[in-house]
Structure 1
Amino acid sequence: MATFFGEVLSVFSRAVEEDEEDEEGEEEEEEDRDILRALEDKRQVRVRWSSPLSPGGGDRPSRCPHLLLAVGHAASRFVSVYLLSRGHWDTVGQVCLWNERTVGSKEAACVLHRDKDNNVLVCPVDCFVAEDQLFQWTEQVMGCVDTTGLQVTVLSDCPAAEYRTAEPLGPAPVLRSLHTSSHKEAPCCPPVEQPNLVTGLPAAVLSFCQLHHISAVLYQCYSDERCPDSSSMEVFRPALTRLAKTLGLDLSPNVDQLRKYISQASVQSNLYI
Protein backbone atom coordinates (compact mmCIF):
# COMPACT_ATOMS: atom_id res chain seq x y z
CA MET A 1 0.00 0.00 0.00
CA ALA A 2 1.52 3.34 -1.07
CA THR A 3 1.16 6.61 0.77
CA PHE A 4 1.30 10.12 -0.69
CA PHE A 5 5.10 10.08 -0.31
CA GLY A 6 5.62 6.72 -1.91
CA GLU A 7 6.13 4.69 1.26
CA VAL A 8 5.00 1.10 1.19
CA LEU A 9 3.01 0.05 4.22
CA SER A 10 2.02 -3.46 5.20
CA VAL A 11 -1.74 -4.11 5.27
CA PHE A 12 -3.32 -5.92 8.20
CA SER A 13 -6.80 -7.35 8.26
CA ARG A 14 -9.00 -5.66 10.89
CA ALA A 15 -11.44 -8.56 11.05
CA VAL A 16 -9.62 -10.16 14.00
CA GLU A 17 -9.12 -6.84 15.76
CA GLU A 18 -12.81 -5.95 15.39
CA ASP A 19 -13.84 -9.34 16.78
CA GLU A 20 -11.56 -8.82 19.77
CA GLU A 21 -12.96 -5.32 20.32
CA ASP A 22 -16.51 -6.65 20.14
CA GLU A 23 -15.74 -9.34 22.71
CA GLU A 24 -14.08 -6.80 25.01
CA GLY A 25 -17.06 -4.47 24.62
CA GLU A 26 -19.52 -7.24 25.45
CA GLU A 27 -17.49 -8.20 28.52
CA GLU A 28 -17.45 -4.57 29.69
CA GLU A 29 -21.20 -4.22 29.13
CA GLU A 30 -21.88 -7.43 31.05
CA GLU A 31 -19.63 -6.22 33.87
CA ASP A 32 -21.48 -2.89 33.92
CA ARG A 33 -24.82 -4.73 34.06
CA ASP A 34 -23.58 -6.83 36.99
CA ILE A 35 -22.50 -3.70 38.84
CA LEU A 36 -25.86 -2.03 38.21
CA ARG A 37 -27.75 -5.14 39.34
CA ALA A 38 -25.67 -5.33 42.52
CA LEU A 39 -26.21 -1.62 43.21
CA GLU A 40 -29.94 -1.93 42.52
CA ASP A 41 -30.19 -4.86 44.90
CA LYS A 42 -28.23 -2.95 47.56
CA ARG A 43 -30.63 -0.01 47.26
CA GLN A 44 -33.70 -2.16 47.86
CA VAL A 45 -35.85 -1.11 50.81
CA ARG A 46 -36.57 -4.01 53.14
CA VAL A 47 -38.86 -4.36 56.15
CA ARG A 48 -37.43 -6.72 58.75
CA TRP A 49 -39.81 -7.81 61.47
CA SER A 50 -38.53 -8.75 64.89
CA SER A 51 -41.93 -10.01 66.07
CA PRO A 52 -45.17 -11.00 64.33
CA LEU A 53 -47.69 -8.22 63.80
CA SER A 54 -50.76 -10.36 64.28
CA PRO A 55 -51.54 -12.49 67.34
CA GLY A 56 -51.64 -15.59 65.15
CA GLY A 57 -48.10 -15.02 63.91
CA GLY A 58 -49.01 -13.93 60.37
CA ASP A 59 -47.29 -11.28 58.32
CA ARG A 60 -50.27 -8.91 58.38
CA PRO A 61 -51.91 -7.42 61.48
CA SER A 62 -55.49 -8.35 62.29
CA ARG A 63 -56.31 -4.65 62.52
CA CYS A 64 -54.24 -1.46 62.41
CA PRO A 65 -56.43 1.56 63.18
CA HIS A 66 -53.69 4.18 62.94
CA LEU A 67 -50.27 4.50 61.29
CA LEU A 68 -48.15 7.49 62.31
CA LEU A 69 -45.08 8.48 60.28
CA ALA A 70 -42.75 11.23 61.51
CA VAL A 71 -40.41 12.45 58.75
CA GLY A 72 -37.55 14.81 59.61
CA HIS A 73 -35.58 15.76 62.71
CA ALA A 74 -38.22 17.89 64.44
CA ALA A 75 -41.09 15.48 63.70
CA SER A 76 -39.22 12.32 64.68
CA ARG A 77 -37.92 13.88 67.89
CA PHE A 78 -41.40 15.14 68.77
CA VAL A 79 -42.70 11.59 68.48
CA SER A 80 -39.83 10.28 70.61
CA VAL A 81 -40.24 12.92 73.33
CA TYR A 82 -44.04 13.24 73.46
CA LEU A 83 -45.31 9.80 72.41
CA LEU A 84 -42.85 6.91 72.48
CA SER A 85 -41.46 7.92 75.87
CA ARG A 86 -44.89 7.17 77.38
CA GLY A 87 -47.31 4.30 77.07
CA HIS A 88 -46.47 0.70 76.24
CA TRP A 89 -44.61 0.26 72.97
CA ASP A 90 -42.98 -2.77 71.40
CA THR A 91 -40.27 -2.61 68.75
CA VAL A 92 -41.72 -4.84 66.03
CA GLY A 93 -39.41 -4.22 63.08
CA GLN A 94 -37.18 -1.96 61.02
CA VAL A 95 -37.35 -0.41 57.58
CA CYS A 96 -33.79 -0.79 56.29
CA LEU A 97 -32.28 1.03 53.33
CA TRP A 98 -28.94 2.06 51.88
CA ASN A 99 -28.11 5.05 49.69
CA GLU A 100 -25.35 7.55 49.01
CA ARG A 101 -26.02 9.45 52.25
CA THR A 102 -25.94 6.58 54.69
CA VAL A 103 -22.90 6.42 56.94
CA GLY A 104 -20.18 4.35 55.26
CA SER A 105 -21.57 1.11 53.89
CA LYS A 106 -24.03 0.55 56.75
CA GLU A 107 -27.77 0.57 56.29
CA ALA A 108 -30.02 3.20 57.78
CA ALA A 109 -32.99 1.90 59.74
CA CYS A 110 -36.37 3.37 60.60
CA VAL A 111 -37.71 1.59 63.68
CA LEU A 112 -41.34 0.46 63.75
CA HIS A 113 -43.09 0.69 67.14
CA ARG A 114 -46.44 -0.84 68.06
CA ASP A 115 -48.71 0.06 70.95
CA LYS A 116 -49.51 -3.12 72.86
CA ASP A 117 -53.10 -2.28 73.66
CA ASN A 118 -54.36 -0.51 70.50
CA ASN A 119 -52.10 -1.98 67.77
CA VAL A 120 -51.15 1.54 66.60
CA LEU A 121 -47.96 1.64 64.51
CA VAL A 122 -45.48 4.52 64.78
CA CYS A 123 -42.40 4.96 62.59
CA PRO A 124 -39.98 7.90 63.05
CA VAL A 125 -37.99 8.53 59.83
CA ASP A 126 -34.83 10.43 60.71
CA CYS A 127 -32.71 9.25 57.76
CA PHE A 128 -32.45 10.29 54.11
CA VAL A 129 -34.63 8.41 51.64
CA ALA A 130 -33.45 8.88 48.05
CA GLU A 131 -35.85 9.75 45.24
CA ASP A 132 -35.69 6.29 43.68
CA GLN A 133 -36.52 4.75 47.09
CA LEU A 134 -39.54 6.89 48.03
CA PHE A 135 -42.35 4.82 46.52
CA GLN A 136 -40.52 1.58 47.29
CA TRP A 137 -40.33 2.63 50.96
CA THR A 138 -44.02 3.53 50.92
CA GLU A 139 -45.12 0.28 49.26
CA GLN A 140 -43.02 -1.84 51.62
CA VAL A 141 -44.43 -0.21 54.76
CA MET A 142 -48.05 0.15 53.58
CA GLY A 143 -48.01 -3.41 52.27
CA CYS A 144 -47.43 -4.69 55.80
CA VAL A 145 -50.56 -3.19 57.35
CA ASP A 146 -54.25 -3.90 56.90
CA THR A 147 -55.59 -0.77 55.22
CA THR A 148 -59.24 -1.51 56.10
CA GLY A 149 -60.36 1.43 58.21
CA LEU A 150 -56.79 2.67 58.44
CA GLN A 151 -56.00 6.29 59.36
CA VAL A 152 -52.56 7.54 58.30
CA THR A 153 -51.01 10.64 59.86
CA VAL A 154 -47.74 12.06 58.54
CA LEU A 155 -45.73 14.63 60.48
CA SER A 156 -43.00 16.45 58.58
CA ASP A 157 -40.78 19.52 58.89
CA CYS A 158 -39.41 21.87 56.26
CA PRO A 159 -37.37 25.13 56.19
CA ALA A 160 -39.55 28.22 56.24
CA ALA A 161 -37.46 29.69 53.41
CA GLU A 162 -39.01 27.13 51.04
CA TYR A 163 -42.56 28.33 51.75
CA ARG A 164 -43.98 30.78 49.20
CA THR A 165 -46.50 33.22 50.57
CA ALA A 166 -47.41 36.88 50.16
CA GLU A 167 -47.22 37.42 53.92
CA PRO A 168 -44.10 36.45 55.90
CA LEU A 169 -44.60 33.45 58.13
CA GLY A 170 -42.90 35.12 61.08
CA PRO A 171 -40.19 33.82 63.41
CA ALA A 172 -42.38 31.22 65.14
CA PRO A 173 -42.87 27.79 63.55
CA VAL A 174 -46.16 27.37 61.68
CA LEU A 175 -48.15 24.26 60.79
CA ARG A 176 -49.87 23.55 57.48
CA SER A 177 -51.92 20.54 56.38
CA LEU A 178 -52.74 18.48 53.32
CA HIS A 179 -55.05 15.48 53.19
CA THR A 180 -56.51 12.88 50.85
CA SER A 181 -60.08 12.97 49.60
CA SER A 182 -60.96 10.05 51.89
CA HIS A 183 -60.06 12.05 55.00
CA LYS A 184 -63.31 13.53 56.31
CA GLU A 185 -62.27 15.28 59.52
CA ALA A 186 -61.19 18.92 59.44
CA PRO A 187 -57.44 19.35 60.01
CA CYS A 188 -56.31 21.37 63.00
CA CYS A 189 -54.49 24.01 60.91
CA PRO A 190 -54.79 25.87 57.57
CA PRO A 191 -54.00 23.98 54.36
CA VAL A 192 -50.81 24.37 52.35
CA GLU A 193 -51.43 27.38 50.11
CA GLN A 194 -50.71 27.34 46.41
CA PRO A 195 -48.26 27.32 44.69
CA ASN A 196 -46.44 25.38 47.42
CA LEU A 197 -45.74 21.70 46.86
CA VAL A 198 -45.14 18.81 49.21
CA THR A 199 -42.18 16.67 48.20
CA GLY A 200 -40.18 13.68 49.37
CA LEU A 201 -41.48 10.82 51.47
CA PRO A 202 -44.59 12.70 52.75
CA ALA A 203 -45.70 13.28 49.14
CA ALA A 204 -45.10 9.63 48.27
CA VAL A 205 -47.17 8.43 51.25
CA LEU A 206 -50.04 10.82 50.51
CA SER A 207 -50.02 9.86 46.81
CA PHE A 208 -50.20 6.17 47.73
CA CYS A 209 -53.08 6.79 50.14
CA GLN A 210 -54.97 8.91 47.61
CA LEU A 211 -54.58 6.20 44.97
CA HIS A 212 -55.78 3.45 47.32
CA HIS A 213 -58.58 5.51 48.93
CA ILE A 214 -56.96 5.56 52.38
CA SER A 215 -57.74 8.33 54.85
CA ALA A 216 -54.49 10.27 55.35
CA VAL A 217 -53.47 13.72 56.54
CA LEU A 218 -50.11 15.47 56.46
CA TYR A 219 -49.05 18.10 58.98
CA GLN A 220 -45.93 19.98 57.90
CA CYS A 221 -44.04 22.36 60.17
CA TYR A 222 -42.22 25.30 58.59
CA SER A 223 -39.49 26.70 60.81
CA ASP A 224 -36.35 28.82 60.58
CA GLU A 225 -34.64 26.84 63.32
CA ARG A 226 -31.60 24.97 62.08
CA CYS A 227 -31.92 22.34 64.81
CA PRO A 228 -35.16 21.16 66.42
CA ASP A 229 -36.07 22.96 69.63
CA SER A 230 -39.02 22.81 72.00
CA SER A 231 -41.08 25.31 69.95
CA SER A 232 -40.68 23.39 66.66
CA MET A 233 -41.65 20.17 68.44
CA GLU A 234 -44.57 21.70 70.34
CA VAL A 235 -46.25 22.86 67.13
CA PHE A 236 -47.12 19.23 66.29
CA ARG A 237 -49.09 18.63 69.48
CA PRO A 238 -52.56 19.68 68.16
CA ALA A 239 -52.14 17.27 65.24
CA LEU A 240 -52.12 14.24 67.56
CA THR A 241 -54.96 15.16 69.92
CA ARG A 242 -57.25 12.42 68.62
CA LEU A 243 -54.51 9.77 68.57
CA ALA A 244 -53.46 10.71 72.11
CA LYS A 245 -57.03 10.09 73.31
CA THR A 246 -57.02 6.69 71.62
CA LEU A 247 -53.76 5.81 73.37
CA GLY A 248 -54.83 7.34 76.69
CA LEU A 249 -51.91 9.80 76.72
CA ASP A 250 -51.80 13.50 77.56
CA LEU A 251 -48.89 14.24 75.18
CA SER A 252 -46.74 15.72 77.92
CA PRO A 253 -43.02 15.66 77.03
CA ASN A 254 -40.39 13.48 78.63
CA VAL A 255 -38.31 16.18 80.31
CA ASP A 256 -35.04 14.23 80.27
CA GLN A 257 -35.24 13.45 76.55
CA LEU A 258 -36.32 17.01 75.75
CA ARG A 259 -33.32 18.44 77.62
CA LYS A 260 -31.02 16.03 75.80
CA TYR A 261 -32.26 17.09 72.36
CA ILE A 262 -32.17 20.80 73.23
CA SER A 263 -28.61 20.54 74.56
CA GLN A 264 -27.53 18.72 71.39
CA ALA A 265 -29.14 21.44 69.27
CA SER A 266 -27.39 24.23 71.18
CA VAL A 267 -24.01 22.54 70.73
CA GLN A 268 -24.54 21.93 66.99
CA SER A 269 -25.54 25.56 66.38
CA ASN A 270 -22.55 27.01 68.28
CA LEU A 271 -19.95 28.21 65.79
CA TYR A 272 -17.09 28.21 68.33
CA ILE A 273 -17.33 24.63 69.56
Structure 2
Amino acid sequence: MATFFGEVLSVFSRAVDDEEEDDKEEEDEEDREIKRELEKKREVTLTWSPETSAAIEDSPEHRLSCSSLILAVGDNATGFVSSHILSSGSWEVSGHITLWNERCREHAPRSDTTPSSCVFYRCITDPTVILCQCFCYVAEDQQFQWCEKVLGCLQKDNLKVTILSTCPVSDYKTPESTYNLPVPFLKVLKTKHYTNGTPCGPLEQPNIADGLPAAVMAHCQVWRIPAIYYQCYTDITKLDSVTMEAFRSVLSCQSMSLLAAKSENILETLRNSMRTTEVQSNLYI
Protein backbone atom coordinates (compact mmCIF):
# COMPACT_ATOMS: atom_id res chain seq x y z
CA MET A 1 0.00 0.00 0.00
CA ALA A 2 1.41 3.42 -0.93
CA THR A 3 0.80 6.81 0.59
CA PHE A 4 0.91 10.24 -0.95
CA PHE A 5 4.68 10.36 -0.47
CA GLY A 6 5.36 7.02 -2.01
CA GLU A 7 6.44 5.06 1.06
CA VAL A 8 5.18 1.52 1.39
CA LEU A 9 3.22 0.56 4.51
CA SER A 10 2.67 -2.94 5.82
CA VAL A 11 -0.86 -4.26 5.57
CA PHE A 12 -2.14 -6.26 8.52
CA SER A 13 -4.98 -8.71 8.32
CA ARG A 14 -7.92 -7.91 10.57
CA ALA A 15 -8.40 -11.64 11.08
CA VAL A 16 -4.91 -11.91 12.62
CA ASP A 17 -5.58 -8.91 14.85
CA ASP A 18 -8.85 -10.45 16.04
CA GLU A 19 -7.11 -13.74 16.84
CA GLU A 20 -4.44 -11.95 18.86
CA GLU A 21 -7.08 -10.02 20.78
CA ASP A 22 -8.97 -13.23 21.53
CA ASP A 23 -5.77 -14.91 22.76
CA LYS A 24 -5.01 -11.91 24.96
CA GLU A 25 -8.51 -11.95 26.44
CA GLU A 26 -8.17 -15.67 27.18
CA GLU A 27 -4.80 -15.08 28.85
CA ASP A 28 -6.22 -12.19 30.89
CA GLU A 29 -9.17 -14.30 32.02
CA GLU A 30 -6.80 -17.14 32.94
CA ASP A 31 -4.63 -14.74 34.95
CA ARG A 32 -7.70 -13.39 36.74
CA GLU A 33 -8.82 -16.92 37.58
CA ILE A 34 -5.39 -17.81 38.97
CA LYS A 35 -5.43 -14.60 41.04
CA ARG A 36 -8.89 -15.43 42.40
CA GLU A 37 -7.76 -18.93 43.36
CA LEU A 38 -4.69 -17.57 45.15
CA GLU A 39 -6.74 -14.99 47.02
CA LYS A 40 -9.20 -17.69 48.06
CA LYS A 41 -6.38 -19.98 49.18
CA ARG A 42 -4.78 -17.22 51.25
CA GLU A 43 -8.03 -16.13 52.88
CA VAL A 44 -8.06 -15.88 56.67
CA THR A 45 -10.95 -17.94 58.08
CA LEU A 46 -12.24 -17.21 61.59
CA THR A 47 -14.56 -19.76 63.22
CA TRP A 48 -16.13 -19.21 66.63
CA SER A 49 -17.51 -21.93 68.86
CA PRO A 50 -21.33 -22.28 68.98
CA GLU A 51 -21.47 -20.62 72.42
CA THR A 52 -19.37 -17.65 71.30
CA SER A 53 -21.30 -17.31 68.06
CA ALA A 54 -24.55 -17.21 70.06
CA ALA A 55 -23.11 -14.50 72.32
CA ILE A 56 -22.20 -12.43 69.26
CA GLU A 57 -25.66 -12.85 67.74
CA ASP A 58 -27.39 -11.92 71.02
CA SER A 59 -25.45 -8.68 71.42
CA PRO A 60 -27.06 -5.44 70.13
CA GLU A 61 -24.13 -4.67 67.80
CA HIS A 62 -23.52 -8.34 66.90
CA ARG A 63 -20.09 -8.03 68.45
CA LEU A 64 -18.53 -9.94 71.31
CA SER A 65 -18.23 -8.10 74.62
CA CYS A 66 -14.52 -7.95 75.40
CA SER A 67 -12.62 -5.96 78.04
CA SER A 68 -9.21 -7.48 77.34
CA LEU A 69 -7.68 -9.23 74.34
CA ILE A 70 -4.32 -10.92 74.93
CA LEU A 71 -2.44 -11.94 71.79
CA ALA A 72 0.64 -14.16 71.98
CA VAL A 73 2.65 -14.55 68.76
CA GLY A 74 5.42 -17.11 68.28
CA ASP A 75 6.73 -20.12 70.20
CA ASN A 76 8.01 -18.44 73.36
CA ALA A 77 5.08 -16.03 73.74
CA THR A 78 2.51 -18.81 73.26
CA GLY A 79 4.57 -21.03 75.58
CA PHE A 80 4.50 -18.34 78.24
CA VAL A 81 0.72 -17.89 78.19
CA SER A 82 0.25 -21.69 78.14
CA SER A 83 2.33 -22.16 81.27
CA HIS A 84 1.62 -18.97 83.23
CA ILE A 85 -2.02 -18.26 82.30
CA LEU A 86 -3.84 -21.11 80.54
CA SER A 87 -2.55 -23.73 82.99
CA SER A 88 -4.93 -22.32 85.60
CA GLY A 89 -7.68 -24.33 83.92
CA SER A 90 -10.06 -21.37 83.92
CA TRP A 91 -10.16 -21.17 80.13
CA GLU A 92 -12.16 -22.77 77.35
CA VAL A 93 -11.57 -22.83 73.60
CA SER A 94 -13.88 -20.31 71.93
CA GLY A 95 -12.65 -20.25 68.33
CA HIS A 96 -9.81 -20.68 65.87
CA ILE A 97 -8.30 -19.22 62.73
CA THR A 98 -7.09 -21.22 59.76
CA LEU A 99 -4.86 -19.73 57.11
CA TRP A 100 -2.28 -20.80 54.58
CA ASN A 101 0.89 -19.20 53.27
CA GLU A 102 4.35 -20.32 52.22
CA ARG A 103 5.74 -20.20 55.76
CA CYS A 104 2.71 -21.29 57.75
CA ARG A 105 2.47 -24.64 59.44
CA GLU A 106 -0.92 -25.69 60.69
CA HIS A 107 -1.37 -26.50 64.36
CA ALA A 108 -4.29 -28.28 66.00
CA PRO A 109 -5.53 -27.38 69.50
CA ARG A 110 -5.62 -30.36 71.84
CA SER A 111 -9.35 -30.01 72.44
CA ASP A 112 -10.23 -29.79 68.76
CA THR A 113 -9.16 -31.78 65.72
CA THR A 114 -9.61 -28.83 63.34
CA PRO A 115 -6.23 -27.58 62.07
CA SER A 116 -5.70 -24.05 63.37
CA SER A 117 -3.08 -21.37 63.00
CA CYS A 118 -4.52 -19.36 65.91
CA VAL A 119 -6.60 -20.55 68.86
CA PHE A 120 -8.91 -18.34 70.94
CA TYR A 121 -9.79 -18.92 74.59
CA ARG A 122 -12.36 -17.24 76.82
CA CYS A 123 -11.87 -16.95 80.55
CA ILE A 124 -14.52 -18.99 82.39
CA THR A 125 -14.58 -16.69 85.41
CA ASP A 126 -14.63 -13.53 83.24
CA PRO A 127 -15.92 -14.22 79.70
CA THR A 128 -14.98 -10.68 78.60
CA VAL A 129 -11.29 -11.68 78.69
CA ILE A 130 -10.10 -13.38 75.49
CA LEU A 131 -6.67 -14.89 74.85
CA CYS A 132 -5.31 -15.78 71.42
CA GLN A 133 -2.32 -17.99 70.70
CA CYS A 134 -0.93 -17.41 67.21
CA PHE A 135 1.42 -20.26 66.35
CA CYS A 136 2.15 -19.38 62.74
CA TYR A 137 3.54 -16.71 60.48
CA VAL A 138 0.87 -14.37 59.13
CA ALA A 139 1.92 -12.98 55.75
CA GLU A 140 1.77 -9.27 54.96
CA ASP A 141 -1.22 -9.67 52.63
CA GLN A 142 -3.09 -11.56 55.39
CA GLN A 143 -2.46 -9.23 58.33
CA PHE A 144 -5.17 -6.72 57.38
CA GLN A 145 -7.69 -9.58 57.02
CA TRP A 146 -6.66 -10.94 60.43
CA CYS A 147 -7.18 -7.59 62.15
CA GLU A 148 -10.47 -6.86 60.42
CA LYS A 149 -11.97 -10.27 61.17
CA VAL A 150 -10.78 -10.60 64.77
CA LEU A 151 -11.04 -7.03 66.07
CA GLY A 152 -14.12 -6.45 63.94
CA CYS A 153 -15.95 -9.06 66.04
CA LEU A 154 -15.16 -7.32 69.33
CA GLN A 155 -16.87 -4.36 70.97
CA LYS A 156 -14.42 -1.46 71.03
CA ASP A 157 -15.82 0.24 74.17
CA ASN A 158 -13.54 -0.43 77.19
CA LEU A 159 -11.40 -2.82 75.13
CA LYS A 160 -7.68 -3.11 75.87
CA VAL A 161 -5.24 -5.14 73.80
CA THR A 162 -2.01 -6.75 75.05
CA ILE A 163 0.45 -8.30 72.59
CA LEU A 164 3.42 -10.56 73.38
CA SER A 165 6.06 -11.58 70.88
CA THR A 166 9.80 -12.20 70.48
CA CYS A 167 12.49 -10.83 68.21
CA PRO A 168 16.17 -11.75 67.64
CA VAL A 169 18.49 -9.58 69.71
CA SER A 170 20.55 -9.08 66.55
CA ASP A 171 17.68 -6.89 65.28
CA TYR A 172 17.93 -4.55 68.26
CA LYS A 173 19.51 -1.25 67.23
CA THR A 174 21.63 0.42 69.88
CA PRO A 175 24.91 2.37 69.97
CA GLU A 176 26.17 -0.14 72.55
CA SER A 177 27.34 -3.64 71.82
CA THR A 178 24.55 -6.22 72.05
CA TYR A 179 27.14 -8.50 73.66
CA ASN A 180 26.75 -6.51 76.90
CA LEU A 181 22.94 -6.56 76.93
CA PRO A 182 21.16 -8.70 79.57
CA VAL A 183 19.49 -11.04 77.08
CA PRO A 184 16.59 -11.74 77.07
CA PHE A 185 14.98 -8.39 77.81
CA LEU A 186 11.62 -6.69 77.24
CA LYS A 187 10.78 -3.45 75.47
CA VAL A 188 7.32 -1.93 75.23
CA LEU A 189 5.41 -0.02 72.57
CA LYS A 190 2.07 1.70 73.33
CA THR A 191 -0.70 3.32 71.35
CA LYS A 192 -1.62 6.92 72.09
CA HIS A 193 -4.67 5.95 74.16
CA TYR A 194 -2.88 3.48 76.46
CA THR A 195 -2.26 5.42 79.69
CA ASN A 196 -1.36 2.72 82.25
CA GLY A 197 2.14 2.19 83.57
CA THR A 198 4.53 -0.41 82.15
CA PRO A 199 6.96 -2.83 83.84
CA CYS A 200 9.77 -2.17 81.33
CA GLY A 201 11.31 0.58 79.24
CA PRO A 202 9.94 1.84 75.90
CA LEU A 203 11.14 0.64 72.51
CA GLU A 204 13.55 3.32 71.37
CA GLN A 205 13.94 4.65 67.85
CA PRO A 206 15.05 3.59 65.28
CA ASN A 207 13.81 0.16 66.43
CA ILE A 208 10.51 -0.89 64.90
CA ALA A 209 7.78 -3.46 65.34
CA ASP A 210 6.77 -5.59 62.37
CA GLY A 211 4.59 -8.53 61.41
CA LEU A 212 1.20 -9.25 62.95
CA PRO A 213 1.92 -7.32 66.20
CA ALA A 214 2.63 -4.16 64.19
CA ALA A 215 -0.56 -4.64 62.16
CA VAL A 216 -2.65 -5.04 65.32
CA MET A 217 -1.02 -1.99 66.92
CA ALA A 218 -1.70 0.09 63.79
CA HIS A 219 -5.35 -1.04 63.79
CA CYS A 220 -5.72 -0.12 67.46
CA GLN A 221 -4.11 3.28 66.90
CA VAL A 222 -6.54 4.08 64.08
CA TRP A 223 -9.58 2.94 66.06
CA ARG A 224 -8.37 4.57 69.31
CA ILE A 225 -8.12 1.28 71.17
CA PRO A 226 -5.63 1.25 74.10
CA ALA A 227 -2.99 -1.32 73.18
CA ILE A 228 0.44 -2.31 74.45
CA TYR A 229 3.05 -4.48 72.79
CA TYR A 230 5.74 -6.34 74.75
CA GLN A 231 8.61 -7.27 72.45
CA CYS A 232 11.12 -9.68 73.96
CA TYR A 233 14.61 -9.62 72.45
CA THR A 234 16.32 -12.98 72.74
CA ASP A 235 19.22 -14.91 71.26
CA ILE A 236 17.30 -18.22 71.17
CA THR A 237 14.61 -18.67 68.54
CA LYS A 238 13.21 -22.03 69.64
CA LEU A 239 11.09 -22.65 72.74
CA ASP A 240 13.21 -21.63 75.72
CA SER A 241 12.30 -21.46 79.43
CA VAL A 242 14.59 -18.46 80.08
CA THR A 243 12.99 -16.47 77.25
CA MET A 244 9.50 -17.36 78.50
CA GLU A 245 10.50 -16.23 81.98
CA ALA A 246 11.33 -12.78 80.59
CA PHE A 247 7.60 -12.19 80.07
CA ARG A 248 6.83 -12.77 83.76
CA SER A 249 6.97 -9.05 84.58
CA VAL A 250 3.91 -8.60 82.34
CA LEU A 251 1.86 -10.35 85.01
CA SER A 252 2.58 -7.50 87.42
CA CYS A 253 0.21 -5.28 85.41
CA GLN A 254 -3.17 -4.80 87.03
CA SER A 255 -5.08 -6.20 84.06
CA MET A 256 -2.93 -9.35 83.94
CA SER A 257 -2.20 -10.11 87.60
CA LEU A 258 -5.56 -11.81 88.21
CA LEU A 259 -4.97 -14.19 85.29
CA ALA A 260 -1.75 -15.77 86.60
CA ALA A 261 -1.88 -19.50 87.27
CA LYS A 262 -0.68 -21.17 90.46
CA SER A 263 3.05 -21.82 90.69
CA GLU A 264 2.65 -25.62 90.76
CA ASN A 265 0.61 -25.53 87.54
CA ILE A 266 3.20 -23.28 85.91
CA LEU A 267 6.10 -25.57 86.78
CA GLU A 268 4.29 -28.68 85.61
CA THR A 269 3.33 -27.11 82.27
CA LEU A 270 6.87 -25.82 81.75
CA ARG A 271 8.34 -29.25 82.39
CA ASN A 272 5.96 -30.87 79.93
CA SER A 273 6.63 -28.21 77.27
CA MET A 274 10.40 -28.47 77.55
CA ARG A 275 10.28 -32.28 77.59
CA THR A 276 8.24 -32.27 74.36
CA THR A 277 10.66 -29.81 72.76
CA GLU A 278 13.66 -31.95 73.67
CA VAL A 279 12.06 -35.06 72.15
CA GLN A 280 11.15 -33.24 68.93
CA SER A 281 14.68 -31.87 68.53
CA ASN A 282 16.35 -35.26 69.02
CA LEU A 283 17.19 -36.74 65.60
CA TYR A 284 17.57 -40.24 67.06
CA ILE A 285 14.04 -40.50 68.42
Please classify the TM superposition score into its range, dividing by the shorter chain length. Answer: 0.7 to 0.9
Cα displacement (A) at 1:257: 2.9
Aligned to 2:91: 89
Q: 1: CA distance between counterparts of 2:170 and 2:222? A: 30
1:34 aligned onto 2:33? yes
Q: 1:115 aligns with which of 86, 99, 123?
A: 123
Q: 2:63 aligns with which of 27, 39, 60?
A: 60
Any idea what the Cα deviations from partners look like across 1:112-152, whole Å, max 9, x if unmatched?
10002212100011101000111211111101111110111
Q: Percent identity?
A: 43
Q: 2: CA distance between counterparts of 1:234 and 1:81? A: 10
1:184 aligned onto 2:183? no
- Greater helix content: 2
Q: Say if 1:229 and 1:22 are closer, same or farther in 2 by CA, change over 3 A.
A: same
Q: Is contact 2:85-2:259 (8 Å) kept?
A: no
Aligned to 1:124: 133
SS state at 2:117 partner: strand
RMSD, aligned α-carbons: 2.7
Which runs of 5 or more residues in structure 1 are unaligned? 1-10
Q: 1: CA distance between counterparts of 2:76 and 2:206? A: 24
Q: 1: CA distance between counterparts of 2:90 and 2:104? A: 30
Q: 1:195 aligns with which of 203, 206, 218?
A: 206
Q: Say if 1:252 and 1:217 are closer, same or farther in 2 by CA, change over 3 A.
A: farther
Q: 2: CA distance between counterparts of 1:250 and 1:179? A: 29
Any idea what the Cα deviations from partners look like across 1:19-63, whole Å, max 9, x if unmatched?
2222111111101101101211221212111123364753422x3
Q: Is contact 2:88-2:260 (8 Å) kept?
A: no
Aligned to 2:144: 135
Normalised TM-score (structure 2): 0.83
Normalised TM-score (structure 1): 0.86
Any idea what the Cα deviations from partners look like across 1:141-196, whole Å, max 9, x if unmatched?
10111111011100010000000112225353000000011111111100111110
What letter is aligned with 1:60? R
Aligned to 1:254: 266
Aligned residues: 262
Counting only pairs closer than 5 Å after superposition, residues 1-273 of structure 1 correspond to structure 2 as: 14-53=13-52, 55=55, 57-58=57-58, 59-61=62-64, 63-103=65-105, 108-119=116-127, 120-167=129-176, 168=178, 170=181, 172-241=183-252, 242-247=254-259, 249-250=261-262, 254-266=266-278
Cα displacement (A) at 1:256: 3.6
Cα displacement (A) at 1:86: 1.1
Q: Say if 1:164 and 1:271 are closer, same or farther in 2 by CA, change over 3 A.
A: farther
